[in-house]
Amino acid sequence: MDVENTDTAGSYKEIEGRIVFVLELANVSSDSLLTGVSLELNHPSQESGQEFVLGPVGILPGTVSLIPLTNLDYIPKKEQLDEFQPSLIVKDAYGLKVELQ
């Protein structure tokens, strides 16, 4: 599966007293089940990005999944959660062709 068949967005959120990054991972393919992804999250205050490998997942074509990312290398202060948006780079995407009937 090509990385062009994915779309990402996300933001830092406080959930149950913990700061996480909530990733919005979309499968924009019309005929592939997204089964895994490798991506880099980079906050402007970080020297280098943090890589995440997510899988196995099962994201159907044309759908979006919300995935909380924890164990972050960089955690912004609560009052800075909305100040800077990190960059997200999808490095690899994995999937299976599906035939929807």
Give the total number of structural domains in the chain. 1
Helix/strand/coil for 20? strand
Range of the domain at 88: 3-97
pTM, rounded to two decimals: 0.90
What is the 3-state composition of the chain as percent helix, strand, coil, each rounded to the nearest 5? Answer: 5, 55, 40
Query: Tens digits of per-residue pLDDT, 44-93?
Result: 888 899 999 999 999 999 999 999 999 999 999 988 888 878 999 999 99
Q: Say which CATH number the domain at 52 has.
A: 2.60.40.1620
Helix/strand/coil for 22? strand
Query: Does a cis peptide bond (omega within 30 degrees of 0) precede residue 56?
Result: yes
Closest CA to 37 of 49, 23, 52: 52
